[in-house]
Amino acid sequence: MKYTRQYVEQRSKFGMFYEDFNDEWWLCKVLGRIPMYVRKDDKSVAPCLVNEGFWEAWITAWALNNVDENTLFVDVGANTGYYSFIAADRGAKVVAFEPQPNYAKMMKASADLNNFDIQIFKYALSDKVDTVELTVPNEFQGSASIRGYLDTEKYPSGTMMVKTMPLDDVDQLRHKTDRNMIIKIDAEGAEELIWNGMRQVLETHQPTIILEYTPGAYSDDFLKQVEAYGDLMWINHAGDDEVISRDAIIASDDWRMLVIRPRQ
Nearest to 113 by CA among 37, 43, 167: 37
Predicted confidence (pLDDT) at residue 113 exceeds the cutoff of 80:
yes
Region 99-113: what's the mean pLDDT? Answer: 97
Q: Is the model more confident about 152 or about 121?
A: 121
Helix, strand, coil shares of the chain, percent, nearest 5, are: 30, 30, 40
DSSP 263: P
Q: What is the pLDDT of residue 156?
A: 86
Superfamily of domain 5-262: Vaccinia Virus protein VP39 (3.40.50.150)
Q: What is the pLDDT of residue 148?
A: 73
Average pLDDT, the chain: 94
Question: SS3 of 7, please?
Answer: helix
**Looking at 151-160, 169-178, 225-234, which range is the least confident one?**
151-160
Distance of CA 229 to the CA centre of its chain: 20
Region 100-119: what's the mean pLDDT? Answer: 97
CA separation for the pair 5, 52 (Å, rounded): 13
CA separation for the pair 59, 247 (Å, rounded): 22
What distances in angstroms separate CA 123 from CA 31, 45, 75, 129, 194, one per listed residue?
A: 28, 20, 12, 10, 12
Q: What is the pLDDT of residue 2?
A: 94
Region 167-173: what's the mean pLDDT? Answer: 93
pLDDT tens figures, 117-130: 999 999 999 999 99
Q: What is the pLDDT of residue 1?
A: 85
For 125-148, give the DSSP string: E-SS-EEEEEEEESS-GGG-BSS-
Contact 150, 127 (CB under 8 A): no
Nearest to 210 by CA among 188, 190, 232, 228: 232
Region 164-187: what's the mean pLDDT? Answer: 93
Question: SS3 of 197, please?
Answer: coil
Predicted confidence (pLDDT) at residue 34 exceeds the cutoff of 90:
yes
> What are the extents of the domains in the chain?
5-262
**Looking at 4-8, 56-60, 107-111, 148-152, which range is the least confident one?**
148-152
Cβ of 83: how many Cβ atoms within 10 Å?
25
CA separation for the pair 136, 99 (Å, rounded): 11
Q: Which residues contact 77 (CB under 8 A, 6 or more apart)?
A: 97, 98, 184, 185, 186, 187, 188
Backbone angles phi, psi at 37, to 5 degrees: -95, 145
Contact 93, 73 (CB under 8 A): yes
Predicted confidence (pLDDT) at residue 178 exceeds the cutoff of 90:
no
Q: What is the pLDDT of residue 15?
A: 85
Work out the pLDDT band at 31, boundaries 50, 70, 90. Answer: very high
Q: Which residues contact 135 (CB under 8 A, 6 or more apart)?
A: 144, 145, 146, 148, 150, 152, 157, 158, 159
